Chains A and B, each alone.
Chain A
């Protein structure tokens, strides 16, 4: 999707007055979760296609 990016993206964001850093376990969960989600999504689409193809329901 074409999401417009604001001009201040060119520079590093200024350090905000308050910080709440994501804990390491949640960071790991987010990154690995995204990756597992992408792989699962790929496999699910292929599996659905296989089932539909066998039943002649692809188109």
Chain B
């Protein structure tokens, strides 16, 4: 019986985990470059027009 001793960093779970983190990192950079606020109220989003009139002072 051959025992598997491959690096734990090469496992499928780690690759999926790193992939998910990469998506979040791209979202961070992309949102900053496009000036897009990810949290509500996002006054520019057509579906969030209901947020109009909501003043907030947190970025």
Bound together: no
A: residues with CB less than 8 A from B are none
